[in-house]
Structure 1
């Protein structure tokens, strides 16, 4: 497996939408709008990090990171997601490669920390965990997780950009 992780390029945009749609097509806990979210983040200038995993000139994975707003007013925190891997390529470490590369880039850019919504069993291995006092309203607390890059953990509610409401 020879996977390269790199920044998205303009020519990747359609392929990112297709692979994101395919990755979430059969996910039970999905809004099935993830491809629209990525495009809306890009259009609004809120796609801080957009990395793709490429194998033999084909996109096989993608991860997006965008800023979040904290009710306590602290800036410098970001939300990871969606993260997508083509269904026939899942379970081969591509998602892990994207996670590690995107978090390293976020640290390099000076981010204070990152939040995400997902399976604690998967994301815990990257250091994410539910944090008392930090919440995403309407979401079971065990699935909303945070990772600090050395700063104090904020307290309060987290709000994602309006792009996460995109439906087309």
Structure 2
């Protein structure tokens, strides 16, 4: 398996994998593929990586900038991340997360936030941080990982693509 930045020709495969990965999930609004499309069209997709195996895309991860009020810079949101259903549970998602975080760290990012499963994301160092609030998300599922410097406090806002249906 190789992990690489996505290219223009990967859009449809990313869309299909994302739709399949989130289909029927009770925690999903089924808008994840449209979120990625909107982030891309609004030039807000900071980092977009695919996992490829034997020339076929089997996973995708997206990172986009977030704002933290009152004021913090260099923070990103992780997600959506998706792995083709028949390849889930084989380390693809973990490899995408690790590579993406490494790339953000090397680029000098301050930190990363996400809404997700603490059992999965805790292995990468993400923790629930009461100093950071994401309205509309149960606090136990909102986590942060400082990448350089100290943890900040405030209210997190994702790009508007996340709120659009």
Matched, 1:161 2:165: no
Unpaired runs of 5+ residues, structure 2, are none
Segments ≥4 residues shifted beyond 2 Å: none
Residue matched to 2:21: 23
Whether contact under 8 Å (1:117, 1:145) holds in the other structure is yes
Matched, 1:110 2:108: yes
Whether contact under 8 Å (1:72, 1:154) holds in the other structure is no
Q: 1:50 aligns with which of 41, 48, 51?
A: 48
Whether contact under 8 Å (1:67, 1:160) holds in the other structure is yes
Q: 2:4 aligns with which of 3, 6, 10?
A: 6
Aligned-residue offset at 1:107? 0.8
Deviation digits for residues 123-162 of structure 1, max 9, x if unmatched? 0000000002111012111100000013111111100000
Whether contact under 8 Å (2:105, 2:148) holds in the other structure is no
Look up the SS of the partner of 1:139 in the other structure.
coil
Q: CA RMSD in A?
A: 0.7
**In 2, Cα distance between equivalents of 1:14 and 1:150:** 34
**In 2, Cα distance between equivalents of 1:163 and 1:138:** 15
Aligned-residue offset at 1:76? 0.4
Aligned-residue offset at 1:17? 0.5
**In 2, Cα distance between equivalents of 1:109 and 1:42:** 20
Aligned-residue offset at 1:166? 3.1
Look up the SS of the partner of 2:128 in the other structure.
coil
Deviation digits for residues 99-138 of structure 1, max 9, x if unmatched? 0000011111110000000000110000000002111012
Figure out how many residues of one structure are paired with residues of the other and give that number: 165
Whether contact under 8 Å (2:62, 2:78) holds in the other structure is yes
Matched, 1:98 2:85: no
**In 1, Cα distance between equivalents of 2:105 and 2:52:** 23
